Structures are given as C-alpha cells and as structure tokens.
Amino acid sequence: MEKVVSGIRPTGNLHLGNYFGAVKSFVEMQDKYESLFFIADWHSLTTRPKPEDIQNSARIILAEYLACGIDPEKAPIYIQSDVKETLELYLFLNMNMYLGELERVTTFKEKARKQPNNVNAGLLTYPTLMAADILQHRAEKVPVGKDQEQNMEMARRCARRFNNIYGVEFFPEPQSFYFNATALKVPGLDGSGKMGKSEGNCIYLHDDDKTITKKVMKAVTDNGPQAMNSPKPEVIENLFTFLKICSTQDTYDFFNEKWNDCTLRYGDLKKQIAADICKTVAPIREKILEYSADKELLDRIARQGAEVARESATATLREVRRIIGFRP
C-alpha cells in the first residue's frame, strides 16, 4: 500500500469548507492507503501562540478530526511535537537548503510581509520542517491544498538533493495529491469567494442549529430571478452549492425549478439550506463534544499515534545517519 502523510495546522476550528474540501477525503483515504495524519504544532510557533493554548489547540483539532470520521486504528493521528526524530532530519535537510531558494518561496514572502517585525528563521525554514515531516516516513503521497504546491516542490527538492549529494536512491519524491474527485469548494455565506476562517464567513462544525440558521438566513442574495431560465448570478449559485452539498437531489431539483420559473423565494430556500446543513453538522458536533470531553481518550490516541510515527521515523533516521556518515 502506498504511504500517505499529511499535516494539519492547529489554527482554529474546522468549518464546513475544511470538511468538504479536505477532511472528508482524508476519511476516504484511510481505507485505501497506509495513512498517517499529524497536527503540526511546531509549525504554529512561527506566529508565537500563547503557551497555555498550545496543547489545547492540538486537542481541539484532534477531537474534530476524530468526530469527522478519522479512525485512528486505520490512520494513526499524532502530534508533531511528540516525535522528536523530525528535528534531527530537519537539521540534516537544512544543511542542504540554500538561503536564496528559501527566500523565494511565496508563502515566506507573504508571511514576512504580514509580520514584518517577526521574520524569524523558522518562517524561512518552514518548507524544510514540512519536508522533514514527510520524508521521515518516506511517504509517497501528500494530500494538501493547492496553496501548498510550492512547499511540496521544496520537499521534493530536499529529497532529490539528499539523494544526489550522497549518491543514493533513499527518499522518494513525495507527490501532492489533490482529492479532486471528492473535494468540493464550499463558498462563503457573504456572496463570493470560498469559505475561510479569515473571511469570517464560516459555518463551523461545532456551531449549533440556532447559530447555523442565523448565519444562513443572513447570507447575501439579490432581487430574485428576473427572467425565466436565466443563469444564476454567483451569490445565488453559491446558495445552490449548499443544496448540492447538504441536501438531496430532489430538493435541489425542486428549488432549481422554482428558480427557472421565477417563483423562487429566497426565504424558503434559506430555510431549507439551514435545515439541511444542520442535519449534516449535528452528528459531527455531537461527536466533537463527546471527544473533547474525554481528554484521556484523546491523549491515548495521540500517544498511540506517536508510537507508530516514531517507529517509522526512527527507521528512516537510522539509515539517514548511516548515509551521512554518523553512527546509526
């Protein structure tokens, strides 16, 4: 079975966009690949989170992933900071990376612009740490969003360069893996673009029915259909996307017909969308509550995940040390 590894930054709660765009695909992957998922808490240090928040943020994300259906028996989940082997590989890989190429990474440039007073070396070597995350397991496939393409290119470069310098075929070049078939772009509720935490247009998986309904009822619309069978403007298309994602085909067809014959009332449409989103989110929310309340279970799952990860990383590092010339 091919090896799949992916990291999740513990930056806030999961929303519907994360769920349909990524997490659901993770859940499908766990049956098809030897999957390993981790919570990238070291990566979050580039923005200096508060000490009292670090462990809690990791736990929240862990609970949410489990609630979405990741089964740690099939796909172990670990917390990055539990597996120190990564750091050794990070050091080795950094020795082969050049300042110029790290500076050229777009995400670095962006973050440097966003936090001009804290352009730290961790930010610069973010791609090396990410490469270490992946290469320590000699993973072949990495499910990531399109925004990670440059980081993935750097990971491949790390692998290739190590192999070249030492004349070995040790690291496979990890391939990005877009969960194309199943992933859906979930729009925001503000009319355009996609659902994103920083846009403030999200429905969170922990939102209760009342909150969800309120958010949906406030979604942006227009003056209503003007002519029979006219194409839908983006804001309305977006609402229909929610029907596509959370409702039945019959419901979609029903409202689509109403759009086409100009009898659609947005209030009715929104009520239906709200009800169907609630139906999708409620079971996940209940599980989030259950898992978050069980710290012992969460810690046990993280511990077991770390054992699996450590075993895989230890085997890799032993070879890496030997290849570089150290005592294995």
Catalytic annotation, residues? 111, 194, 197
Q: How far is the CB of 177 from ligand TRP (least distance, A)?
A: 10
- Stretch of residues binding ligand TRP (CB under 6 A), selected from 81-89, 94-102, 142-150, 235-243: 142-150
Q: How far is C-alpha 170 from the chain's CA centre?
A: 28
Binding mask 1-20 for ligand TRP (x = CB under 6 A): ----xxx-x-----------
- Stretch of residues binding ligand TRP (CB under 6 A), selected from 126-134, 192-200, 272-280, 309-317: 126-134
Which of 60, 97, 135, 142 touches ligand TRP by CB under 6 A?
A: 142
Give, for 282, the enclosing helix (H) or strand (E): helix 266-293
| The two structure tokens encoding residue 45 | 């240090």
Q: Does 130 bind ligand TRP (CB under 6 A)?
A: yes
Q: Does 151 bind ligand TRP (CB under 6 A)?
A: yes
- Stretch of residues binding ligand TRP (CB under 6 A), selected from 88-96, 130-138, 253-261, 277-285: 130-138
DSSP-derived pairing of the beta strands 3-8 and 34-39:
parallel
Give the C-alpha distances (Å, rounded to integers) separating 311 from 20, 35, 37, 318: 32, 14, 15, 11
Which of 133, 140, 207, 276 touches ligand TRP by CB under 6 A?
A: 133
Q: Does 43 bind ligand TRP (CB under 6 A)?
A: yes
Q: For ligand TRP, which residue has the nearest CB?
A: 7
Q: Does 124 bind ligand TRP (CB under 6 A)?
A: no
- Stretch of residues binding ligand TRP (CB under 6 A), selected from 143-151, 241-249, 296-304, 305-313: 143-151
Half-sphere exposure of 65 (CA within 13 A, CB side): 34
Q: What span, in angstroms and rounded, lies between the C-alpha atoms of 321 and 170? A: 12
| The two structure tokens encoding residue 211 | 């909150």
CA quadruple 121, 126, 127, 128: dihedral, nearest 10: 70
Contact 185, 21 (CB under 8 A): yes
Q: What span, in angstroms and rounded, lies between the C-alpha atoms of 313 and 174? A: 16
- Interface residues toward ligand TRP, by CB under 6 A: 5-7, 9, 40, 43, 130, 133-134, 142, 144, 148, 151
